[in-house]
């Protein structure tokens, strides 16, 4: 009874893990669409909205006082918050604010650093301003961001612990099931190499379980029907390899039962 219960739980958790895996793939695809929608130099918003913005510089930024910007609309403002520079990387961070009176349409933002040559080093941004928040959301390619208003990566990362928990539970229950089966002289086939004449069957019973070379085995399908017989050829500490006629319909996951020795 306990083996049947363990098998049921392993199957349920396996299906749950598979569903979470499919969901994670869909979220990754949605996040990819979100990345396309949010190009580094193309921003979007609506009147009254503020959002984080960042950019790079080809020159070292000693302080945010070196940074300046111009926009095509007086209602659009950029508040520089911080800047960092290293040998390979010079970047700044700030907040883009779209005033409540900004007209819907396409606007531009130019950011420059006093240490750079202005006419060659100015970074240009395109800002698409929509009439209101509903129209703004309707233009998102990401369904998660459109309907829930959150980055899809957050949801994707939030399900990873549950996916890992399913893996851990499945491993624990499978180990428990294998232990109980081994005590009864039973194990599942985990590897099968088929040929026309014979099949080599690897299963999780070995020398530590009392298996000896020449032991005879019965093979059962998952529904409990007898599928054939085999004879132990090689014995290792924790697993063994048996040989069976190639015409027998045997698959990985079928059950081995030790029933006699020669």
Task: List, for residues 3-19, the tens digit of each pLDDT value.
Answer: 778 888 888 998 998 99
* 109 lies in some domain: yes
Contacts of 7 (CB under 8 A, 6+ apart): 177
Look at residue 94 in the predicted model and tell me its pLDDT.
Answer: 93
Query: Does residue 200 lie in a domain region?
Result: yes
Alpha-carbon distance of 255 to 220, in angstroms, equals 5
Domain contains 30: no
Tens digits of residue pLDDT in 123-147: 889 999 999 988 888 877 788 877 8
Residue 236 confidence (pLDDT): 93
Q: 244 has which bridge partners?
A: 199
Number of domains in the chain: 2
Q: The domain spanning residue 54 has which CATH number?
A: 2.60.40.10
With 0-12 CB in 10 A as exposed, 13-18 as middle and 19+ as buried, what is 256?
buried
User: Could you tell me if residue 143 is inside a domain?
Assistant: no
Residue 261's pLDDT is 45
Q: Closest Cα to residue 37, out of 122, 109, 132, 144?
A: 144
pLDDT-derived band at 249 (thresholds 50, 70, 90) equals confident
Q: What is the pTM of this model?
A: 0.60
**Torsion angle (degrees, nearest 10) of CA 127, 96, 45, 147:** 130
In Å, what is the CA distance from 29 to each residue of 18, 36, 38, 83? Answer: 17, 11, 14, 32
End-of-domain residue from the set 85, 112, 129: 129
The answer to whether residue 18 is domain-embedded is no
Domain that holds residue 107: 47-129
Where a domain ends, among 129, 147, 167? 129
Output the domain CATH number for residue 238: 2.40.30.270
- Count Cβ atoms within 10 A of the Cβ of residue 36 and give its class: 0-12 exposed, 13-18 middle, 19 or more buried: exposed
Phi, psi of 140 (to 5 degrees): -70, 135
Q: Is residue 139 part of a domain?
A: no
CA pseudo-torsion sign 43, 32, 80, 111: negative
**Rounded (5°) CA angle 224-208-13:** 45
Q: How far, in Å, CA of 227 to CA of 172, rounded?
A: 28
End-to-end CA distance of the chain: 31
Binned at pLDDT 50, 70 and 90, residue 119 comes out as: very low
Which of 129, 152, 170 terminates a domain? The answer is: 129
Residue 2 lies in a domain: no
In a domain, 24, yes or no: no
Average pLDDT for 70-89: 88
210 φψ region: left (φ > 0), alpha (ψ -120 to 50), beta (else) = left
């Amino acid at each position: 009874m306990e083996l049947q219960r363990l098998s049921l739980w392993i199957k349920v958790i396996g299906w749950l893990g598979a569903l979470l895996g499919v969901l994670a793939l869909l979220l990754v695809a949605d996040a990819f669409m979100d990345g396309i929608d949010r190009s580094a130099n193309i921003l979007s918003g609506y009147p009254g909205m503020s959002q984080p913005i960042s950019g790079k510089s080809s020159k070292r930024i000693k302080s945010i006082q070196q940074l300046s910007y111009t926009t095509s609309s007086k209602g659009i403002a950029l508040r520089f918050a911080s800047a960092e520079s290293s040998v390979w990387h010079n970047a700044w961070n700030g907040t883009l604010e779209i005033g409540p009176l900004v007209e819907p349409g396409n606007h531009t933002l130019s950011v420059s650093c006093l240490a750079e040559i202005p006419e060659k080093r100015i970074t240009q941004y395109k800002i698409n301003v929509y009439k209101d928040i509903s129209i703004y959301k309707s233009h998102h390619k990401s369904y998660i961001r459109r309907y829930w208003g959150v980055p899809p990566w957050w949801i994707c990362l939030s399900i990873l612990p549950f996916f890992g928990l399913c893996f851990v539970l499945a491993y624990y229950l499978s180990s428990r099931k294998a232990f109980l089966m081994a005590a009864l002289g039973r194990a599942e086939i985990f590897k099968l190499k088929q040929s026309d004449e014979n099949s080599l069957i690897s299963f999780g019973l070995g020398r530590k379980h009392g298996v000896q070379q020449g032991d005879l085995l019965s093979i059962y399908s998952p529904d409990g029907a007898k599928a054939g017989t085999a004879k132990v050829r090689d014995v290792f500490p924790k697993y063994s390899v048996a040989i069976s006629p190639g015409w027998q319909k045997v698959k990985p996951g079928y059950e081995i039962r030790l029933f006699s020795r020669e």
